[in-house]
């Protein structure tokens, strides 16, 4: 029992170290963050990192500023801690920043897996701004829109459906995962010309990409593209993140970030090679 537990920890830590090495090799700088913030356990590295970066007078001297922070995050719903690596590309809303971030995460799993044949992964993509536009076109009051955004962030699809049930049922087709060739024609009904603005990026061949406006990210600072990478047999995302805008003190930060979860990644890699990873 003890040996198996120690072996599991060793393997998981090996994944953690390789992720750190990958980020360092890509030019990211570490920013240590405290485990508590405002007398509460850390649930997110982003604000803590920006607090620290904002304390420097030359905080705005580098663009893009590529940073990461490590350490467990507290999950209030389960009263448990989840090991995580939070990655931020502070780019000042560069138009190609989203594509660069998605192409970066497309290289992470092949780097970890090395010669192990990889199974299919699912990348689900949403867009907070597009969802807001659709809800406005429905004629939905601002307070109702806020309720729907909150429900989606909390994963409460029942509450979201309650609010949406009073409006045009066609919008529901945008709130389930669809391929791009199905999703964008449906979105075009609400946002004319959006198909021409469809973002493009290179992803590994074994990834399946689906679009779903019910994916909004779990934090209110997400403003644009959001994404989550997972596997159907792993009960937790391997990573998730998106485009954000956040004001800390007198400073406004814009960029794209994502959180890597070493334990689900270890489980995925172990599944690929029969538990030997």
Is it the case that residue 277 has pLDDT exceeding 60? no
- Please report the pLDDT score of residue 60 as a whole number: 72
Is it the case that residue 18 has pLDDT exceeding 80? yes
- Please report the pLDDT score of residue 274 as a whole number: 67
pLDDT digits (tens, 9 = 90+) for 45-58: 999 999 999 888 88
- Please report the pLDDT score of residue 228 as a whole number: 96
Q: CB within 8 A of 211, min separation 6: which ones?
A: 124, 125, 126, 177, 178, 179, 180, 183, 184
Q: Is 3.30.565.10 the CATH number for 2-272? A: no
Pairing mode, strands 29-30 and 65-75: parallel
- Is this structure's pTM higher than 0.85? yes
Is it the case that residue 204 has pLDDT exceeding 90? no
Which carries the bigger pLDDT value, residue 22 or residue 205? Answer: 22
Distance from C-alpha of 216 to C-alpha of 14, rounded to nearest angstrom? 31
């Amino acid at each position: 029992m003890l040996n198996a537990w120690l072996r599991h920890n060793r393997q998981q830590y090996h994944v953690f170290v390789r992720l750190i090495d990958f980020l360092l090799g890509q030019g990211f700088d570490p920013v240590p963050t405290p485990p508590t913030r405002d007398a509460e356990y850390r649930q997110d590295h982003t604000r803590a990192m920006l607090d620290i970066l904002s304390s420097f007078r030359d905080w705005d001297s580098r663009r893009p500023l590529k940073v990461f922070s490590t350490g467990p995050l507290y999950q209030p719903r389960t009263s448990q801690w989840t090991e995580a690596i939070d990655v931020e590309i502070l780019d000042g809303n560069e138009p190609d920043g989203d594509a660069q971030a998605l192409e970066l995460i497309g290289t992470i799993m092949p780097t970890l897996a090395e010669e192990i044949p990889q199974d299919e992964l699912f990348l689900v993509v949403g867009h907070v701004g597009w969802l807001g536009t659709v809800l406005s076109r429905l004629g939905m009051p601002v307070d109702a829109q806020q309720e729907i955004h909150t429900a989606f962030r909390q994963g409460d699809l029942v509450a979201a459906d309650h609010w949406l049930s009073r409006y045009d049922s066609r919008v529901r087709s945008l709130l389930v995962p669809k391929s791009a060739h199905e999703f964008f024609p449906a979105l075009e009904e609400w946002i004319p010309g959006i198909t021409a603005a469809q973002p493009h990026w290179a992803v590994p061949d074994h990834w399946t990409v689906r679009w779903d406006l019910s994916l909004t990210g779990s934090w209110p600072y997400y403003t644009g593209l959001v994404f989550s990478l997972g596997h159907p047999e792993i009960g937790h995302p391997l990573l998730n993140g998106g485009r954000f805008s956040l004001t800390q003190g007198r400073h406004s930060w814009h960029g794209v970030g994502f959180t890597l979860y070493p334990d689900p990644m270890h489980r995925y890699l172990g599944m690929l090679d029969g538990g030997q990873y």
